[in-house]
């Protein structure tokens, strides 16, 4: 059985740890940029995301042994 959860920063907002981005960022799908601006230490992790996504798309749904 597989389970995937895409909570992202939503969990932090619901827990009251982070605040929601202003409307401008939300309307333009740039909420991630606002969070990066507020917390620059996230930059290293965020730079790894494109590589992870590319690897996932290339590998597809192959089973890992």
Q: Which residue has the higher pLDDT, 34 or 46?
A: 34
Q: Could you tell me what percent of the chain has a pLDDT over 70?
A: 82
Question: What global pTM score does this model have?
Answer: 0.57
How far apart CA 38 and CA 32 sit, in angstroms, is 10
Q: Reply yes or no on whether the pLDDT at 48 is more than 80.
A: yes
Domain regions of the chain by residue span: 10-59
Q: Reply yes or no on whether the pLDDT at 27 is more than 90.
A: yes
Averaged pLDDT for residues 45-65: 77
Q: Is the dihedral of CA 16, 35, 53, 27 positive or negative?
A: positive
Averaged pLDDT for residues 30-46: 87
């Amino acid at each position: 059985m597989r389970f995937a959860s895409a909570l992202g920063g939503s969990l932090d907002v619901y827990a009251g740890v982070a605040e929601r981005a202003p409307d401008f960022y939300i309307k333009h799908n740039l909420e991630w940029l606002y969070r990066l601006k507020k917390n620059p230490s996230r930059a290293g992790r965020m730079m790894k995301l494109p590589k992870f996504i590319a690897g996932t798309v290339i590998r597809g749904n192959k089973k890992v042994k």
